[in-house]
Structure 1
């Protein structure tokens, strides 16, 4: 993609991966607009901020309309907005909470895509990059709902890329592993906690905190987004960081039983007592 006067829209850009991505794209020459549900002021940031709630159709339509009014086109959409639930058993989230995480993490991408694609078709091209996770191709015990949303994002992205490729629009998903952001600090607590899971919830929180000390900075993900955005022949899926790359190789080539055992060993699941 030619970057001169290319317009990028990055959702969830007030912090973490979204902020790092917006800054990286701006440094590369894009005119970048970030979004935040709280409408954070850009201040000294090298990009503008717009208010957006990806769970509301009218908010999505309004931000796309505003950006088209300001710039006349959208060349790159980066769907990053999302949230997770603190480590918990799948049954510890109510149906309402399960619907909420899908509404943001998956349906938010669907809303943004439906709003932007007609304009990309008319202008003859564009790129859509969805921030997924290694949990889009691996299971996450005690993170089943989040993993399910990322599996959905991966499947949607690859299918959409086939649909839109002949129209000059390419779709990729970027899949990082553990990343040092405030994401885990903003986890929602499960809203239907069960006493049976108290011990393992507490133990997993300690395990994940230890793992996060060696996590990649968000700039690693931002670099992968820029690679996907500017590639002459973009790939449907990109991993971000060495760990994510190793996990992708293991998923492709390791026997299922070996991978299964490795996941349980890393999370110390078989060492934990069960009431």
Structure 2
């Protein structure tokens, strides 16, 4: 039996961007299209996504093995290859660590961590066979630093950091790179879409409310999604890519502080930033 041929063979590289209907994902899809990529943007309900020049939208649920396989197969059947995967889809969670039930934590990890792993595993065979490819995982500065009252989200991004760095060592000899883009707070629907604990504990009420205020204040001075999109394009196109791409001045400062400030001083700064007793 002959192998089906792709319906088209674009001259430009092919990029898949998850969570591309809004926010960082949409900005990344637009920026990659402007940089000369054929872009496939994904969304849980792609029919509701606003049209974007240079991008084709397809349905994807990153928490579903079947949906991931179907999406990657459809892109390979149509375009013949995937040069860049941007794992951007993610969900937030605000609340004390003790308040998060195992099911609530599992829901966050199923998208933020296992979704990244599902998509990466799905594209790697074709990338390895071609000897080229980039997997760009959108992490966060909260993958580098602690986040009181956002422990579940921070844990998921710490996991993405460790997974990506380890994966990069495994696939580099096959011509594939796994890279990290690390935004600070960004003007998206993150605050509104973040889940709250189903069974909050009174002991944390005051501090949880303060944490929500801290996030709200940070979002008011947050970077635009285009700042993160520019970092994603650099990760996707740099001829000599580096593992980590902080997105914007705030993210760069945070990465430097984490690296060079002594532990005790860094601990005090985290508590001060989050309005906790020092």
* TM-score in same-fold range (> 0.5): yes
| 2:79 maps to 1:71 | yes
SS at match of 2:85: strand
Alignment of 1:151-170 (within 5 A): 151-170=158-177
| 2:32 maps to 1:25 | yes
| 2:64 maps to 1:56 | yes
2-side partners of 1:194 and 1:176: how far apart?
Answer: 30
The change in CA–CA distance for 1:234 and 1:113 in structure 2 (over 3 A counts) is same
Q: Which residue of 1 aligns with 2:143?
A: 136
Aligned partner of 1:251 among 239, 245, 258: 258
SS at match of 2:46: coil
TM-fit CA distance, 1:41: 4.3
- Unmatched segments (≥5 aa) in structure 1: none
Q: Which residue of 2 aligns with 1:90?
A: 97
1:160-179 deviation digits (Å, cap 9, x = unpaired): 11111110001101001111
Query: Would you say the 8 A contact 1:4–1:29 is kept in 2?
Result: no
| 2:200 maps to 1:193 | yes
1-side partners of 2:187 and 2:236: how far apart?
Answer: 23
Q: Which residue of 1 aligns with 2:117?
A: 110
2-side partners of 1:267 and 1:108: how far apart?
Answer: 29
2-side partners of 1:43 and 1:16: how far apart?
Answer: 12
Q: Which residue of 2 aligns with 1:171?
A: 178
Superposed CA RMSD in Å reads: 1.3
1-side partners of 2:235 and 2:123: how far apart?
Answer: 18
Moved more, 64-73 or 40-49: 40-49
SS at match of 1:110: helix
Q: Which residue of 2 aligns with 1:237?
A: 244
- Unmatched segments (≥5 aa) in structure 2: 1-9
TM-fit CA distance, 1:40: 3.5
1:159-209 deviation digits (Å, cap 9, x = unpaired): 111111110001101001111101111111112211111111222212221
TM-fit CA distance, 1:44: 3.1
* Number of matched pairs: 268
1:35-91 deviation digits (Å, cap 9, x = unpaired): 0112244553121101000111000000001101110100000000110112x1101
1-side partners of 2:207 and 2:162: how far apart?
Answer: 31
2-side partners of 1:238 and 1:171: how far apart?
Answer: 12
TM-fit CA distance, 1:4: 4.8
The change in CA–CA distance for 1:52 and 1:151 in structure 2 (over 3 A counts) is same
TM-fit CA distance, 1:219: 0.5
